[in-house]
Amino acid sequence: MLAKKANCRWTDCFSIYLCQHARCMLILLISCYCESDRLGPATQEVCQLETMEGRCRWKSEVIVMTSARWGRMETGRCLEIHPNFLSLHGQDPLFLGCSENVLPLLDAKCSGRSECNVQIPDPDLDKLNPCYPDHERYLEASYTCVKG
């Protein structure tokens, strides 16, 4: 009995008969596709001068964007702020915690394709200013792959 991995869905099941000297054996092969089979992390944090690379593992699959935010959501890899400066300005909603839902934009750029690259800075994203315009922003996006 094969155990199903977490977050997986059963896909193509097929059988193969192996025969040798009038003896046949049935072998059932089961393929399980998992969210972890997507190439790349589930959620990508894409900083300035980086590229979001959306890829599906199987050629028969296409990307479906599930979320995308543009702004200064929180401090981390893309946004390092000195603690003293953060204590002075951290409560300002246009300084930190500001973002815009850009799922429709990323959906148009990526969904339905087997691969997708979005370079930051991106002219379409740069038109949006959910924060102070002169402050650095980053993209946070996630996608899944489905049979095309």
Contact 60, 148 (CB under 8 A): yes
Which of 102, 98, 99 shows the shortest CA–CA distance to 90?
98
In the chain, which residue ranges form alpha helices assigned H by DSSP? 83-89, 103-110, 123-126
Q: Look over the chain and give the mean of its residue pLDDT values, rounded to a whole number.
A: 79
Give tens-digit pLDDT for 59-100: 899 999 999 999 999 999 999 988 888 888 878 888 999 999
Contact 148, 99 (CB under 8 A): no
Per-residue model confidence (pLDDT) at position 125: 97
Q: Is the dihedral of CA 90, 92, 95, 100 positive or negative?
A: positive
What is the CATH architecture assignment of 36-147?
A: Sandwich (2.60)
Return the domain boundaries, the chain. 36-147
Per-residue model confidence (pLDDT) at position 43: 85
Query: Is a pLDDT exceeding 90 seen at residue 128?
Result: yes
Query: Is a pLDDT exceeding 60 seen at residue 5?
Result: no
**How far apart are alpha carbons 136 and 121 in whole angstroms?**
10
Per-residue model confidence (pLDDT) at position 39: 55
Put simply, whether the predicted model's pTM sits higher than 0.95 gets the answer no
Question: Mean pLDDT across the stretch 39-51?
Answer: 83
Give tens-digit pLDDT for 16-31: 444 555 555 444 433 3
Per-residue model confidence (pLDDT) at position 26: 47
Distance between start and end Cα atoms, the chain? 30
At residue 64, the 3 state secondary structure works out as strand
